[in-house]
């Protein structure tokens, strides 16, 4: 099937459309400079990934913004940074400043000409409202972990979204899921039988950055390095 044979694109947001690694680094490097601590970007991102993996296992029903304060405290202890309640809360409150990837807004506008666009995110409603505005309000519908009561990679997030889409007349085969994270999205969407598109934002970069690692890389139906490449492929009828 061609990409254009589908009618719906569901999107992971953080890491796929929103450059959360830049947002994390902007905050943590600022705290490091203030504390006179020198840290490599890769060390900060790896610390975030470890803290997130732990929180996902300990609190799998909690939207990720609610995890960020305990994650920051864990990171601060590991990295030698100030870890006060105010520092941890300020880390969560940095979310509205996280930028979109340079290609996200234009690519989403192009994709919306052909597809029903749905955000499907581990964010809460508050964070997604900010991300949607940063992305110039591209979504026809939005699903958050706060609404579902679970985080991806739990299949209940996909089932909840599929139920909403079925009420609008869309079939399972109409959907393609678009995401960056193998850990949160690609492996589970492939396992559930979804048409899946991997946006490998870290293609060519060492390591997994701020995303927890997986033992085996799932093979998606489509694989691009950017959202712009996906939009190009759609317009070329691939």
pLDDT per residue over 100-126, tens digit each?
Answer: 999 999 999 999 999 999 999 999 999
* pLDDT tens sequence across 15-46: 999 999 999 999 999 999 999 999 999 999 99
- pTM of this prediction? 0.96
Catalytic residues: 12
- CA dihedral for 68, 61, 53, 45, sign (positive or negative): negative
Given this model, what pLDDT does residue 86 score?
96
| Burial (CB count <10 Å: 0-12, 13-18, 19+), residue 22 | middle
* pLDDT tens sequence across 185-206: 999 999 999 999 999 999 988 8
What 8-state DSSP symbol labels residue 87?
H
- CA dihedral for 198, 65, 41, 57, sign (positive or negative): negative
């Amino acid at each position: 099937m061609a990409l254009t044979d589908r009618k719906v694109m569901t999107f992971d947001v953080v890491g796929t459309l929103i450059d959360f690694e830049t947002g994390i680094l902007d905050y943590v490097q600022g705290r490091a400079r203030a504390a006179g601590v020198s840290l490599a970007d890769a060390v900060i991102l790896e610390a975030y990934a470890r803290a997130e993996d732990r929180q996902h296992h300990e609190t799998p029903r909690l939207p990720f913004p609610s995890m960020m304060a305990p994650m920051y405290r864990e990171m601060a202890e590991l990295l030698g940074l100030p870890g006060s309640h105010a520092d941890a809360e300020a880390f969560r409150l940095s979310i509205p400043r996280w930028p979109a990837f340079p290609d996200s807004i234009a690519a989403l506008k192009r994709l919306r000409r052909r597809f029903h666009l749905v955000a499907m995110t581990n964010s809460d409603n508050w964070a997604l409202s900010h991300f949607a505005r940063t992305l110039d309000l591209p979504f026809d519908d939005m699903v958050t972990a706060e609404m579902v009561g679970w985080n991806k990679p739990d299949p209940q997030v996909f089932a909840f979204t599929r139920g909403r889409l079925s009420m609008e007349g869309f079939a399972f085969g109409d959907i393609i899921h678009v995401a960056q994270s193998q850990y949160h999205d690609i492996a589970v969407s492939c396992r559930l039988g979804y048409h899946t598109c991997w946006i490998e934002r870290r293609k060519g970069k060492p390591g997994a950055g701020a995303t927890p690692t997986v033992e085996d890389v799932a093979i998606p139906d489509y694989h691009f390095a950017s959202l712009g490449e996906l939009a190009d492929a759609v317009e070329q009828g691939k």
